[in-house]
């Protein structure tokens, strides 16, 4: 696999992470350096680890993972998105302010779930590396590094979009709705609706 092909693959795999990072930056409104590092580090690490894991699993479970990977990503993204929608629903009731969100996508279980959800497709890429007999370590490192950088850019863009108090009132709600839309789109892309 050429360097250009690996970079293209890394960018393609990072698009879900980018969208989630924008939603997270918008919800956080003023992410701290620690939140940037957590989101970028976790998303990058999981994008690195999943191809390696998929490669290690090889052909033994390929059919099973391909049948269920989109449902796993859907459930994880829908759960976090739903929590953000509930938390941000004060905007619908007209009582929102410029306070920080109650759901922090850069902490604890939320961070873990988002990291797994945005990297499940990289597991399938690792499986395909095993089928092709291609090396995995170099491409996995590149995928993880590109994803970490793309995630940081996404968080910054989300923060920039949420820099006014008027948008702050809706930011967490919009972020949650975005995650729900991404979750539904994953099912649509895998023809889960028939």
Does 53 score more than 90 pLDDT? yes
Ranges of H-type helices in the chain = 3-13, 15-28, 33-57, 62-88, 108-117, 120-132, 137-161, 165-189
**Residue 49: pLDDT band with limits 50, 70, 90:** very high
51 burial (CB, 10 Å; 0-12 / 13-18 / 19+) is: buried
Any idea which of 5-14, 100-109, 132-141, 150-159 has the lowest mean pLDDT? Answer: 100-109
Mention every residue, 6+ apart, whose C-beta is less than 8 A from residue 70.
Answer: 120, 186, 187, 189, 190, 192
Cα distances from 50 to residues 33, 129, 166, 172, 192, in angstroms, run 26, 12, 39, 28, 23
Give the separation between CA 113 and CA 20, rounded to whole angstroms: 12
Q: What is the pLDDT of residues 110-160, one digit of tens each?
A: 899 889 988 888 887 888 788 777 889 999 999 999 999 999 999 999 888
Average confidence score pLDDT of the chain:
80
Q: What is the pTM of this model?
A: 0.73
Does 94 score more than 70 pLDDT? no
């Amino acid at each position: 696999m050429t360097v250009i092909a690996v970079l293209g693959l890394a960018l393609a795999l990072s698009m879900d992470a980018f969208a989630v990072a924008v939603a997270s930056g918008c919800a956080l409104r003023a992410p701290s350096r620690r939140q940037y590092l957590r989101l970028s580090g976790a998303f990058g690490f999981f994008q690195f680890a999943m191809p390696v894991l998929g490669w290690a699993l090889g052909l033994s479970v390929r059919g099973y993972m391909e049948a269920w990977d989109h449902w796993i990503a859907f459930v994880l993204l829908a759960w976090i998105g739903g929590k953000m929608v509930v938390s941000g629903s004060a905007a619908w009731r007209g009582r929102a302010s410029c306070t920080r969100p109650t759901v922090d996508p850069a902490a604890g279980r939320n961070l873990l779930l988002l990291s797994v959800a945005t990297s499940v497709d990289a597991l399938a890429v690792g499986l395909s590396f095993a089928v092709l007999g291609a090396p995995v370590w170099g491409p996995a490192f590149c995928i993880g590094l590109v994803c970490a950088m793309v995630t940081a850019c996404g968080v910054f863009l989300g923060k920039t979009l949420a820099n006014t108090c008027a948008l702050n009132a809706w930011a967490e709600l919009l972020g949650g709705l975005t995650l729900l839309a991404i979750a539904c789109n994953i099912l649509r892309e895998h023809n889960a609706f028939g």
